[in-house]
């Protein structure tokens, strides 16, 4: 039994795939993807076999030319089934599997069906959804709501680097923590808002950990962070710790009182698992406004507050945050609502979909 996984481009696609793979023996798992995207780093760091191909964004010819090599890989490794988590990198793997009559299951993380999942779903054996009533999937009969898989623990292969130790030692463990993050690639909007706070420290009282994203790190705080692993400033009752990336997220999330982030589905699912309430600013340029749809779902459940980015200035953001941060009773209620929206068994539900279409022999750990 060999299962192939395909997920690429961003952590929002890759981490749910890793969550499912985490529950399987390594000998039963291989990943395919682009040799120059984030999956090439993350998958191998988590101890799984990864096969990269020259698949490039905006170059459809590379998607087609990769089909032959992927087919040969699937034949060589005797792949039994393929699980795709969205993104353009999945096209070559999907076509290769289809040509070899290998069953394919798709997973959609967002509340709006992605472009490639929308195109490929009619030919898949099963479509797994993170949300009920996913827009674009209404007429597809072979759908199953599984939730969005979240890694319950960090891979034993992935060791916490010194950068994680640096931010852990920089935080005051006795103080509640506000986490601000922009996803795997960071968010210039949040970074700029924290930079504004550095100059207007009276606007917020509390301890903040900002994850800038690797690409945004050199320019953060006017370049003061460049060449370091952690940036730390204390100004009276305000303490700001900034890092480019956090590897062992479970070490961080157990400390958080509240989060601020975009409205990516895997981010929200992870926060739900830990029962962390938040304030989200959906990415305004997300395809088909899928982050707005994700946010509305959680907002309707009473677990998050939502602010649109259009017209939102840093002082307005910090005013809203300050009011929510000080309202302990409201945060407590939001945390309870967030926890009730979690799907801790989402990975097992996805694996059950293989069994439901006649694929047996999957040995979940």
Number of neighbouring beta carbons within 10 Å of residue 316: 12
Higher pLDDT, 25 or 313: 313
Question: Do 233 and 207 form a contact (C-beta atoms < 8 A)?
Answer: no
pTM of the model: 0.91
The two domains 3-150+344-356 and 162-340 share their CATH topology (first three levels equal): yes
Fold classification of 162-340 is: Rossmann fold (3.40.50)
Higher pLDDT, 76 or 168: 76
Average pLDDT of span 272-287: 96
pLDDT at 365: 62
Longest dimension (CA), the chain: 64
Q: Does domain 3-150+344-356 have CATH number 3.40.50.880?
A: no
Rounded CA separation 8/70 (Å): 15
Average pLDDT of span 166-173: 88
pLDDT at 146 over 60: yes
pLDDT at 339 over 50: yes
Least confident of 63-77, 92-106, 153-167, 172-186: 153-167
pLDDT at 74 over 80: yes
Report domain extents, the chain.
3-150+344-356, 162-340
Least confident of 100-104, 221-225, 304-308: 221-225
pLDDT at 141 over 90: no
3-class secondary structure for the chain?
CCEEEECCCCHHHHHHHHHHHHCCCHHHEEEEEECCCHHHHHHHHCCCEEEEECCCCCCHHHHHHCHHHHHHHHHHCCCCEEEECCCCCHHHHHHHHHHCCCCEEEEECCCECCHHHHHHHHHCCEEEECCCCCECCCCCCCEEECCCCCCCCCCCCCCCCHHHHHHHHHCCCCCCEEEEECCCCCCHHHHHHHHHHHHCHHHCCEEEEEECCHHHHHHHHHHCCCCCCCEEEEECCEEEEEECCCCCHHHHHCCEEEEEECCCHHHHHHHHHHCCCEEECCCCCCHHHHHHHHHHHHHHCCCEEECCCCCCCHHHHHHHHHHHHHCHHHHHHHHHHHHHCCCCCHHHHHHHHHHHCCCCCCCCC
pLDDT at 157: 47
What average pLDDT does the structure give for the chain?
91
pLDDT at 101 over 60: yes
pLDDT at 60: 74
pLDDT at 156 over 50: no
Number of neighbouring beta carbons within 10 Å of residue 76: 8
pLDDT category at 56 given cuts 50, 70, 90 is: confident
pLDDT tens sequence across 282-331: 999 999 999 999 999 999 999 999 999 999 999 999 999 999 999 999 99
pLDDT category at 93 given cuts 50, 70, 90 is: very high
pLDDT at 153: 65
pLDDT category at 163 given cuts 50, 70, 90 is: low
**Most confidently modeled range among 209-223, 245-259, 338-352:** 338-352
pLDDT at 104 over 70: yes
């Amino acid at each position: 039994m060999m299962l192939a996984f395909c997920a690429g481009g961003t952590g929002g696609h890759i981490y749910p795939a890793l969550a499912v793979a985490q529950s399987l023996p390594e000998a039963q798992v291989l990943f395919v993807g682009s040799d120059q995207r984030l999956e090439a780093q993350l998958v191998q760091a988590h101890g799984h076999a990864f096969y990269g191909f020259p698949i490039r964004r905006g170059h459809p010819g590379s998607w087609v030319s990769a089909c032959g090599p992927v087919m040969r890989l699937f034949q060589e490794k005797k792949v039994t089934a393929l699980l795709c988590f969205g993104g353009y990198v999945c096209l070559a793997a999907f076509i290769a599997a289809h040509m070899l009559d290998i069953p394919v299951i798709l997973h959609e993380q967002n509340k709006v069906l992605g472009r490639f999942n929308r195109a490929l779903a009619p030919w898949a054996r099963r479509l797994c959804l993170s949300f009920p009533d996913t827009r674009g999937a209404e007429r597809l009969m072979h759908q199953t709501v599984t939730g969005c898989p979240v890694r319950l623990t960090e891979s034993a292969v992935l060791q916490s680097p010194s950068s994680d130790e640096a931010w852990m030692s920089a935080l005051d463990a006795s103080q509640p923590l506000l986490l601000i993050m922009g996803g795997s690639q960071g968010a210039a909007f949040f970074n700029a808002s924290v930079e504004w706070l550095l100059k207007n420290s009276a606007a917020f009282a509390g301890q903040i950990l900002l994850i800038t994203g690797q690409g945004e790190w050199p320019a953060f705080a006017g370049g003061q962070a460049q060449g370091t692993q952690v940036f730390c400033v204390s100004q009276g009752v305000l303490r700001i710790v900034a890092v480019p990336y956090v590897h062992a997220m479970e070490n961080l999330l157990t400390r958080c009182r509240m989060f601020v982030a975009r409205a990516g589905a895997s981010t929200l699912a992870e926060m739900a698992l830990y029962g962390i309430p938040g304030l989200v600013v959906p990415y305004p340029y997300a395809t088909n406004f899928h982050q707005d749809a994700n946010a509305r779902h959680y907002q309707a459940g009473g677990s998050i507050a939502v602010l649109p980015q259009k017209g939102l200035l840093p002082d307005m953001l910090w005013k809203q945050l300050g009011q929510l941060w000080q309202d302990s009773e409201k945060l407590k209620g939001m945390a309870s609502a967030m926890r009730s929206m979690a799907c801790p068994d989402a990975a097992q539900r996805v694996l059950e979909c293989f069994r439901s279409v006649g694929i047996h022999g999957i040995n979940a750990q």
